[in-house]
Copies of this chain bind each other. A is one copy, B any other.
C-alpha cells in the first residue's frame, strides 16, 4: 500500500528534509517514527528538499508499506513517536503511482519579513528581521515582473542539477500588518533557493538598494549577481503542495 502523509515541521532544529550523514534531518526523524510503528525501513519520498531552518506548514511525502494501519490511526501513532517540532496532520492511502515529488504540479511558499526597528522574540525563528525602512508599495510593484513563465536562472543558487531553469510563477502577493510583511508565492516549481532569492531581491528593492523598476530586466539577464541576496532560511515556509486532479 502507498501511504501519503501531510506533515508540518518547525525546521529550526533540522538540517533540512533530506537524510544526511552526521546531521539530524526531518526525513530521518520521520523514517525512525515509521519504523517504530510498521517495523519497516521505509523509503520516504518528500515533495522536495528544504534547507536547514526552513519550515513547513503542509509538507507532503509518501512511502510504501505492507502495514494495514488505517489512515487516521496511523497519524496518531506517528505523532506519539515524533518530537514536538514535527506533526503528522493526515495520513491516507494513495494510488500506487503517487509520488510526492513527481506528482506535484504546484507549490505555495510563504516568506515572512519583520520590518520593525526592534526584533520580536516570538518571531526570531519565523521571520527575517529587517530593521531598515521598506517601501512595500515598491516591492509590490516589482513583484509583478515575476509573474508568468520566465527563465529563473538568475534566481537560483548553484549546486543543483535541473533539466531547465524555466518556471512559471502563478501568483506573488505581498501583504503587510503591524510591520510583518508576508510574501506568498505560487508556482509550478521552484529552483534551488529561488523563493529566498526573490525575497532578498524584493527586500533590497523595498530598501532602495536595487531599483524596483529593474525587476523584469534583472530576471531577463539570467545573472545571479544582478539579483539580491538570498534571504535567510528561517523566514521561509512551504505552505501547500498541489497534485493533479485535486
Contact = CB atoms under 8 A, between A and B. Distances in A.
Copies of the chain in the assembly:
2
Contacts of A126: 122
A87 interface: yes
A10 interface: yes
Q: Say which size band chain A's interface belongs to.
A: 10 to 19
Contacts of A173: none
B9 A85 contact: no
Main secondary structure of the interface of A (DSSP, over half): mixed
A13 B55 CA distance: 21
Contact of A121 (B10, B75, B118, B124): B10
Interface in A95-135: 118-122, 124, 126
A86 interface: yes
A159 interface: no
A87 B119 contact: yes
A105 B84 CA distance: 38
- Of A79, A85, A121, A122, most B-chain CB atoms within 10 Å: A121
A115 to B, nearest CB: 16
Contacts of A122: 8, 10, 55, 126
B55 A9 contact: no
Interface string A135-163: 00000000000000000000000000000
B85 A124 contact: yes
B121 A84 contact: yes
Contacts of A239: none
Interface string A34-63: 000000000000000000000100000000
Contacts of A75: 118
A226 interface: no
A82 to B, nearest CB: 10
B124 A84 contact: yes
Interface of A: 8-10, 55, 75, 79, 84-87, 89, 118-122, 124, 126
